[in-house]
């Protein structure tokens, strides 16, 4: 997974699940964004990227995404931590 950020938003991108058709065909990607261990937003997309309009300069975030298949199977969540550079230097 990769992330890109500016002062007012953060974008996370990931690659298609390498799980093949195990559990069915990929249907969507449920995701959630956490700050301080609390879910601040969640949703589901068919894209391989999601952008959040959030204050990036002074917050640290954890992004989690999973694969939901047509068979109703959910793959384990992949996680990425984003640390702001506030106070660095």
- φ, ψ of residue 19 to 5 degrees: the values are -85, 0
Residue 81 to residue 35: CA distance in whole angstroms? 10
pLDDT of residue 89: 38
Beta bridge partners of 13: 2, 49
pLDDT digits (tens, 9 = 90+) for 13-72: 998 876 666 667 888 999 999 988 899 999 999 999 999 988 776 778 899 999 888 887
In 3-state terms, what secondary structure has residue 21? Answer: coil
Domains of the chain, start order: 2-82 (2.60.40.10)
- The CA-based angle 14-70-48, given to 5 degrees, is 15
């Amino acid at each position: 997974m990769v992330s890109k950020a500016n002062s007012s938003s953060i974008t996370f991108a990931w690659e298609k699940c390498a799980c093949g058709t195990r559990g069915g065909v990929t249907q969507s990607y449920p995701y959630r964004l956490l700050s301080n261990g609390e879910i601040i937003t969640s949703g589901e997309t068919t894209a391989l990227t999601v952008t959040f309009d959030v204050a990036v300069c002074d917050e640290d975030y954890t992004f989690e995404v999973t694969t939901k298949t047509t068979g109703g199977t959910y793959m384990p969540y992949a996680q990425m931590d984003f640390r702001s550079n506030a106070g660095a230097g």
